Structure 1
Amino acid sequence: MTLPLTPDELLTTTRTVRKRLDLSRPVPLELIRACVEIALQAPSGSNEQSWHFMVVTDADKRAAVGEIYRQQVARYADSSRFAGRMFADRPERSAVQQRVGDSVLWLGEHMGRVPVLVIPCLRTGKPVPQGNQAGLWGSLLPAAWSYCLAARARGLATAWTTLHLGQEAEVARILGIPDGVHQGALLPTAYFTGTTFRPARREPVESVWHENTW
């Protein structure tokens, strides 16, 4: 059963959800499986389909991954890149960024309690190459985003996170992910509190539109 969303509504209301993740409501595993099945329809380079989805529901493993995420959030919060300190010279954006920063810190403390953690992975059988990796990750990230869209259509919320990759090898050991399989994101998945979501405020298209030349 999916929500009555138009394609445009689905695309503009699939948000990164943190504080509104419902930590108390279990998520049926068959719902996650349905979302992954949708994700597998995404494109991949040469139709190789070398993606894998690690679905973590075990409480101890979720807690262990959550602790790693908490450590990485703490490091991120102390860095100059922290979302909460961005655009300090633009009051209208600074207020939004501070709210984002607060929600990042909240998720850092609660990641291990989210009912389902999904980690999309890419099997290469070898280390990730140096240099431009767009072609490599282009065979995984569309599928990961399709998973998020499918979850939204089924009344679930997700957050696109990557901070855990600072300790990717440790997460791999916890979850038994073999060598040659690389993690692309960490997608906490849960029902959400409140009613629905609305499109976010963005910069006008004219600020990013370049026609024929930059």
Structure 2
Amino acid sequence: MATLPLTPDELLTTTRSVRKRLDLTRDVPLDLVRECLDVALQAPSGSNRQGWHWLVVTDAEKRAAIGDVYRRSVEAYVASPGYAGRLFSDDPGRAPVQERIGDSVAYLGEHLGEVPVLVIPCLTVRHLGAGNQAGLWGSLLPAAWSYMLAARARGLGTAWTTLHLAHEQEVATVLGLPDDVRQGVLIPTAYYTGDTFRPAPRLPLDEVLHVDGW
């Protein structure tokens, strides 16, 4: 499939987490998902191990089962102090955006099982360990982001979510995952409604930039 006419900067700045605008009624061809995954496999991995695996879930019953797990995770999140809809509630500049994000998270919690394709990047992990895991997950998460970029370039919407990991084993059981395969993220994938996306508001660079030290 031909890709959208986006510059590299446009692709990077308009690949958003899509929740309410996912088209739940339109099937996504598996060949299109495979194109995106072929791009993702070019991402870096530590020592070029490529220990990743990619679960693509299209079966309606399995999607519904994962959706039920996800709904319970979202309900717990919505009740927590860290819920996006409550963050920065006393900041007039950020509160409206956070409230919209919170609403969209709750919406996806109710409808994840209806999204036509769920992609779950996984990593073979012999020993998870208790130390810093940046190197471990750094061998998977860049590829997951590459998948999302490739999907955006092909007119698909995606969302980055890890809330289901509170019940990771339940999802592993639904999908029959081996004990040494761990899930890194859940990426609902669908065509989107509306026209396109804009860059999101972010903190000014100078508020988070540190040069040569803190």
Cross-structure match for 2:157: 157
CA distance in 1, matches of 2:89, 2:66: 32
Q: What pairs with 1:13-28 in structure 2 (closer than 5 Å)?
A: 13-28=14-29
Instruction: Provide the TM-score with structure 2 as the length reference.
Output: 0.99
Q: What pairs with 1:178-189 in structure 2 (closer than 5 Å)?
A: 178-189=178-189
What 5-or-longer segments of structure 1 have no aligned partner? none
Cross-structure match for 1:201: 201
Partner secondary structure for residue 93 of structure 2: helix
CA distance in 1, matches of 2:83, 2:153: 30
Superposed CA offset, 1:68-126 (max 9, x none): 000000000000010000001201101110110000000000000000000000012x2
Cross-structure match for 1:57: 58
Runs of 4+ in structure 1 deviating by more than 2 angstroms, as ranges, are: none
Q: Let me know the Cα RMSD of the aligned residues.
A: 0.6
Cross-structure match for 1:213: 213
CA distance in 2, matches of 1:150, 1:69: 25
| Fraction of identical pairs, as percent | 68
CA distance in 2, matches of 1:181, 1:152: 27
Partner secondary structure for residue 120 of structure 2: strand
Q: Residue type of the partner of 2:23?
A: D
Partner secondary structure for residue 112 of structure 1: helix
CA distance in 1, matches of 2:46, 2:213: 28
Cross-structure match for 2:101: 100
CA distance in 2, matches of 1:203, 1:27: 35
Cross-structure match for 2:128: 128
CA distance in 1, matches of 2:151, 2:10: 14
Instruction: Provide the TM-score with structure 1 as the length reference.
Output: 0.99
CA distance in 1, matches of 2:108, 2:198: 21
Superposed CA offset, 1:121-166 (max 9, x none): 0012x24111210000000000000000000000000000000000
Superposed CA offset, 1:17-55 (max 9, x none): 000000000000000000001000000000000001000
Cross-structure match for 1:31: 32
CA distance in 2, matches of 1:52, 1:138: 14
Q: Residue type of the partner of 1:195?
A: D
Q: Residue type of the partner of 1:79?
A: S
What 5-or-longer segments of structure 2 have no aligned partner? none
CA distance in 1, matches of 2:52, 2:177: 13
Cross-structure match for 2:143: 143
